Every structure is written in C-alpha cells, then in structure tokens.
Amino acid sequence: MSSASSSAARRLILASTSPYRRELLQRLRLPFEVMSPDTDETPHVDEDPRSVARRLALAKAQAVAMQQPDAVVIGSDQVADLHGRPLGKPVTHERAVAQLRMMRGQTVVFHTAVAVVCRNSGFEAVDVAQVSVTFRDSDTGMSDADIEAYLQAEKPYDCAGSAKSEALGIALLARLQSDDPTALVGLPLIKTVSLLRAAGVPVLAGATA
C-alpha cells in the first residue's frame, strides 16, 4: 500500500477543543474527530513567542498521537507577540482590558503554529504563520470606552491577545497583513493543507460533499 493510500485510510484528529479551530478545519470537508491534548501551555523562561507557539502546537499533536498512533493528528497554538512579549488568552475581563490597552496604537505579531503528526508512519512536521496586526489608537476607535464596549459584546477571553478579528474585534484594527488569511482566527489553513498533503492525506479526494 502506498503512503498516500495508507494515510487516506487513517483517522484525522484535531488535537484541540477550540470551537474556532474546529469550524476552520470543517471548511476542508474532511471527516475528523476532536480530542483534548491536555498539555501544559506555560511558556518556558526566556522563550520567544514564535517558539512558544511552535513548541505547543507540536506538543499538542504529539500528546494525542501517543494515544492514537495510527491517526493523523493536527495540533495548533497561537501566541500574540507585543515587541517580544508574549500575550496569551486573557481568561478574565480585567486581563483583557489590560492587554488591549497595551496593544492600542501598536503593531502586534500573531504567531499561529500548526503541527501534523502520525506516529505509525513516522511523519512529524510543524510550520508557523505570522499575522501582523496594527491596532487603532485611543483617538481612532480604541478608547477605554471602545475597549469596554467590545469586551462586553464579544467576551473574547479565550482568544490570544483578546483579539477576535472574525467578529466585532475587526473594528479595533487599523491594518492586517498575512499570507495565510485564517491564521489570525486560530488555524492557518494554507499551511495545514500543505502539511496534510505532505503526510499523505489526499485533501481534495477525501473531501465530502
């Protein structure tokens, strides 16, 4: 059996409970399952944001692949980078306010990493998409009142940097630059497709109607 044929028969698993990543992966129309990777997402001391995203995406995929060695597993992670300072999920309203105040008028780089692992085939690869986002300043749409209105409306406490760009958060942005348009939402689909193909998954042939 060829590598591609073997991979076509393998289960595809998304190692994430994020509803955003699940919705994005559904766009490929590939049947997949979802499993929680249960990994420690604490950054290492002096670890730069890009390295954090890359390491955690791979760790998530590896954690699920250990339990499901015959499956092709996708892991992903996103870290917001404010001049080298990593910004994770705020979790609370107070932390979201603090994050957005720091980000206004600034350009923040969002590192979104994706990893694909299949233990039985020996495939393991990871890639990172970068999105450069310039936020409005307090005079052009990101005053304290604007931040509060946005947070009350969206409650984006599970989004890195409190930025939910696919919804009302777009009103906080002045400019966005990326070569992988879904990366900011949480899963860079261009890079994901490339890694799945490299793993032997026939993306278009496996798509359902």
* Helix pair 189-198, 19-26: axis angle to 10 deg: 70
Which residue from 56, 105, 54, 113 is spatially nearest to 83, judged by alpha carbons? 105
137 is catalytic: no
The 3-state secondary structure of 129-165 reads: EEEEEEECCCCCCCCHHHHHHHHHHHCCCCCHHHCCC
**Which of 157, 160, 155 lies closest to 187 in space, CA to CA?**
160
Is the separation of the CB atoms in 187 and 23 below 8 Å?
no
Q: Cα–Cα–Cα angle for 85, 86, 90, nearest 5°?
A: 125
β-strand pairing of 85-87 with 123-135: unpaired
CB neighbourhood size of 128 (10 A): 21
CB distance 42 to 64 below 8 Å: no
Q: Which of 77, 81, 127, 180 is catalytic?
A: 77
Residues serving a catalytic function are 77
